[in-house]
Amino acid sequence: MKSPLVLTSALIATGCALVGYFVGGALENADAISLTIGLFIGALVSPLIVKLLSGEQQTAAAIKTLYVGNLPYRANEAAVRSLFSSYGEVHSVRLMKDKQTGKRRGFGFVEISAADADGAIESLNDTEFQQRTLKVREAKERPEPGQGND
C-alpha cells in the first residue's frame, strides 16, 4: 500500500506540487524503503525513484583507505590485492612510484570495505610479506597545500 507524503508545498502557489510515496511499509520500521517522487504540473512530468539503503547497508558500502608500508619493491598491485582480498572486498590498490625513476617506493594504499578494514589491519600489520614486515594502518588525509603546519 502506498501512503502519500507531501514533500514540499512551496510550489503550490505556482500550480506545481512535489509528492512522494513510501513503498514497503511504515518508515519507522523499514530496514530499506523505496521512495517515488513525482513533479506534477497538471500531470506527472518526471517520476524519480530513489532507493534508500538501511543503516547496515550504508555502513557496508563505505570504503576505508589503508596505508601499507615496508612493501617489497618487487611487489605489484596484483600481489597486494590478492593479499588483502582474503580479508574483504578490495576496491583499489595504488603502489607509489618515484616520479623520475618510475621505481616503486615501498609503500602504497589499499581501499577496502570499511566493515573489513579493521580486520585487515589487525591481521596484516607486523606480518611478513615477501620477506618484509608490513606496516598496515588507516591512512591519514594529507593537508591541502598551504594548510599544513606553518
Four-CA torsion 124, 125, 126, 130, nearest 10 degrees: 50
Q: Higher pLDDT residue, 50 or 87? A: 87
Please choose, from the candidates 68, 70, 71, 57, the residue with its C-alpha nearest in 3D space to the C-alpha of residue 113: 57
Question: Is residue 50 pLDDT above 80, yes or no?
Answer: no
Place of cell 502557489: 13
For the segment 107-147, what is each residue's pLDDT rounded down to a tens digit? Answer: 999 999 999 999 999 999 999 999 999 999 999 887 767 76
Mean pLDDT confidence for 94-117: 95
Q: What is the pLDDT of residue 142?
A: 76
- What is the pTM assigned to this prediction? 0.57
Q: Higher pLDDT residue, 122 or 19? A: 122
User: What's the rounded Cα separation, in Å, for the pair 126 and 128?
Assistant: 7
Alpha helices in the chain (DSSP H): 55-61, 77-85, 114-124
User: What's the rounded Cα separation, in Å, for the pair 147 and 64?
Assistant: 23
